[in-house]
Amino acid sequence: MKNALRHELKQGLLPLVIFSAVSAVVCIIYSATQSLEYPRFDAEGIFAADSCVMVSTAVLAVLCTVTPVMQFSYRMKKRSVDLWYSLPVSRTRLAAVKTVGGLVLTLVPYTVGFWLTVIVVAARGAHFAYEWYLPLYFLSLVFGAGLFGVNAFLFTRGNTIGDGIVFLVLWGALLPMFVFLTQAGFYAYNHDVYVRDPSFEDIAVSLFTYSPITVAADFFDAMIRHNVSQAGTLVSHGDSVMLAVTLPVGAVESVAAYVALFLRAERDRAENVGQISSSPMGYKVLIPVYGALMGAMGRLMYVEGAFVLLLLALTLIGEVVLYFAYRRSFRLKRADVISIAVSLVIAVALFFALPM
C-alpha cells in the first residue's frame, strides 16, 4: 500500500506541477486585470465589487472534473487495467491510492491559485473583509474533495471513458431538473400558470453536483465584499437558502459516493473494459428518465397543438437513437422497448397533467 501510494505520488509529480502552474497563471492574470471596485451601484444600491473568488472556484471545478477522469481512466483501458489489477494490492486499496493521488492533484493546484488570488487582490489595495477568505478556503477544500468523490464514482460507472463522462454530466443535472419541474407543477396547479418562485428555484440550482463549491463561493464573496457595501450585509436570502440546502445534500452525496466507490471496487471486472456500460447508474436508467421528463419540459415551453405530437415524436426518435448507441446495435432488447414505451406514457401524462 505504501509503495503503491509512493509510486502514485511520484507519477503525479509532473501533472501536479503543470496543474499548479496553470492555476497560478489563470488566477494571477484574472485578479491582476479585473476591476475590483466599480464606480457604480447595483440595483439594490450596493457598491459593486469583485473579490475574484470565482476564478479559483472555476479552477477547482475544472480540476474536480479532469482529475477523476485522469485517475480512474485506467479502468477503461484493457492493457492498463490488467497491469494495475496484477499488482499485489487489493482493488479497494488501489482505488484508495488513486483517490489520494487525485485529491493531491486537485487541491494543491487549487490552493496555489486561491492564495495567489488573495495576495494579488490585497496588493492592489481592495477594501475587502479579508478574514472571510480563510473559512471559504477550508470549506471549499471539503466541498472540492466531496465533488471529486462524486465525479469519480459516476465516471467509474462507465466501461468506456466517453460513457463515464456522459454519466458524470447527466446524473449531475438530474436532481435539480426534477426539483425544478416539481416546483413548476406545484405552482401551475395552484395558479393555473407557471409562477416563478425564486426561493424554490434557488433550491433547485443548489442541487447540482457542482453547486456546493459555487454556492459557498457566492456566499463568502458577499461577506468578503462587505466592507465596500453601502447597504449593510451583501448576503441575500437566496444565497442563505442555497447554502443551507447544498451543505447537507452535498455532504450526503459525497459520503455515499466514496462509500460506493470503494465498495464497488472489488466487484469491477477487468473483462468489462470497453464493453457496453450496463450499470444501473448508466443508460438503462438515464435514457428513459430523461425521455419521461421531456413531457413536463414541453409544457413549460408552452408547446401545444401539432407541436405536441412533434415533441413526442422527437422524444421517441431520440430515445431509440440513444438506445442504438448504448447497445452498439440496431437491435433492441425487449427491456429497452418496454422502457421506451413506459417513458413515453409518463411523458404524455406529465405533459397533460400540467396546466398551461
Amino acid at 281: M
* pTM confidence score: 0.84
3-state SS, residue 38: strand
Q: Which residues contact 339 (CB under 8 A, 6 or more apart)?
A: 284, 287, 288
Please report the pLDDT score of residue 194 as a whole number. 46
pLDDT in tens, the chain (356 residues): 677 788 788 888 999 999 999 999 999 999 998 877 654 454 444 455 778 899 999 999 999 999 999 999 887 776 766 666 666 777 788 888 899 999 999 999 999 999 999 999 999 888 788 899 999 999 999 999 999 999 999 998 887 888 889 889 889 888 888 877 776 655 555 554 444 455 556 677 788 899 999 989 988 888 887 765 544 455 666 667 777 788 888 899 999 999 999 988 777 766 566 667 777 788 888 888 888 887 667 666 655 656 667 777 888 888 888 888 887 778 888 888 888 888 888 877 777 766 55
Give Cα 17 to chain centroid, integer Å.
Answer: 25
Q: Residue 289: which of 214, 221, 350 has the closest Cα?
A: 350
Distance CA 99, CA 126 (A): 38
Please report the pLDDT score of residue 113 as a whole number. 96
Please report the pLDDT score of residue 235 as a whole number. 60
Which residue shows C-alpha cell 468506456?
Answer: 160
Q: Where in the chain are the domains?
A: 2-158+197-270
Q: Which residues contact 76 (CB under 8 A, 6 or more apart)?
A: 158, 159, 160, 161, 164, 273, 274
Please report the pLDDT score of residue 185 as a whole number. 59
Distance CA 298, CA 143 (A): 34
**Cell digits for 217?**
463561493
